[in-house]
Amino acid sequence: MSYVNPSSLVSTEWLSKHASGPDVRIVDASWYMPATKRDPRAEYDEEHIPGAVFFDINDISDTDNSLPHMVPSPEKFSSRMRKLGLGDGNRIVIYDGSGLLSAARAWWMLRLFGHHDVAILDGGLPKWKAEGRPVDDVPVMPAERHFTSRINNFMLREKDQISRNLTTGREQVLDARSPGRFDGTEAEPREGLRSGHIPSSFNLPYNKMFNSTDGTLLPADRLKTLFTETGLDLKQPVITSCGSGISACILAFGLHLLGHNRVSVYDGSWTEWASDETTPVDTRNSHAD
């Protein structure tokens, strides 16, 4: 089988051929967990794919919210995109320095705010560099471009909706964290958070979705098998979750490639859920054999 939405994933070869196209815009959306001590902006300034602008996930967020990198207002998102030269009529290609992690968050945000001509670079910057393709440190000064925000609230879930779903069961919840964090045997990287998962969740660690050789995404048939082996019903709506709303977007991207069009992301994810002492937490995998 093939991806249902193959245009959402582009190869390094494709980008190499089309990078200079008049309507193609390249975006570096690198972000790393604080514990890694990596500075994505500094790394971007040191080297990036020529012409790429930097999408700062921590800045392009609701910075008044105590939770990390929550979705900003449509006005702020439009303003930031305009200044990056990203807007209506652009074919936007996103990559990150991990291969595929935060690029999926930027992809999801652009679609959330109504821009659908957006793709992710398969294998990201690591694959691009491994193939000897060019990088530079030249500052990019984009011309501003109008961005029309049309937020699609069907793609976004908040804590009260997750709470109601515990009773209704209308949507399946798929968690991208590691098995240890999911079942409560491994401590959360954010200090003070309870371990475990939202009751009745399914678990698919996002890093299982990649080829071990080059970090590219698995082909469609293997990707579909991964999702179905969790117990997920691909004909029913899915909410993806993770630690703070980043890797949940990788699951959402994988489901999108397979043609699933009823997928939303729990923006606050485990950081929000586990911080509230009134929310129920499970450490048993109710879907295990």
Q: What is the pLDDT of residues 32-67, one digit of tens each?
A: 988 899 999 999 999 999 999 999 999 999 999 999
**Domain ranges within the chain, ordered by starting residue:** 6-151, 154-275
CATH topology identical between 6-151 and 154-275: yes
Question: 116-146 pLDDT, tens per residue?
Answer: 999 999 999 999 999 999 999 999 999 999 9
Provide the 10 A C-beta neighbour count for residue 98: 19
Reply yes or no on whether 242 is catalytic: yes
pLDDT of residue 141: 96
Provide the 10 A C-beta neighbour count for residue 182: 24
Domain 6-151 has CATH 3.40.250.10: yes
Instruction: Give the Cα separation of 84 and 56 in Å (integer).
Output: 11
The residue whose two tokens read 């996002």 is: 206
Domain 154-275 has CATH 3.40.190.10: no
Find, among 135, 137, 161, the residue nearest to 49 by Cα: 135
Question: Choosing from 101, 110, 155, 242, which is the catalytic residue?
Answer: 242
pTM value?
Answer: 0.97
Long-range CB contacts (within 8 A, 24+) of 20-25:
20/51, 21/91, 23/89, 23/90, 23/91, 24/90, 24/91, 24/92, 24/93, 25/51, 25/53, 25/85, 25/86, 25/90, 25/91, 25/92, 25/93, 25/142
Q: End-to-end alpha-carbon separation of the chain, Å? A: 28
Q: Which amino acid is at 18?
A: H
DSSP output for the chain: ---SSGGGEE-HHHHHHHTT-TTEEEEE-----GGG---HHHHHHH-BSTTPEE--TTTSS-TTSSSTT----HHHHHHHHHHTT--TT-EEEEE-TTSSSHHHHHHHHHHHTT---EEEETTHHHHHHHTT---B-PPP-PPP--------GGGEE-HHHHHHHHHH--SEEEE-S-HHHHHTSS--SSTTPPPSB-TT-EE--GGGGB-TTT-PBPPHHHHHHHHHHTT--TTS-EEEE-SSSSTHHHHHHHHHHTT---EEEESSHHHHHHH-TTS--B-S-TT--
Residues of the chain with pLDDT under 50: 289
pLDDT of residue 288: 56
pLDDT of residue 35: 84
pLDDT of residue 286: 65
pLDDT of residue 34: 85
Strands 263-266, 156-157: pairing kind? parallel
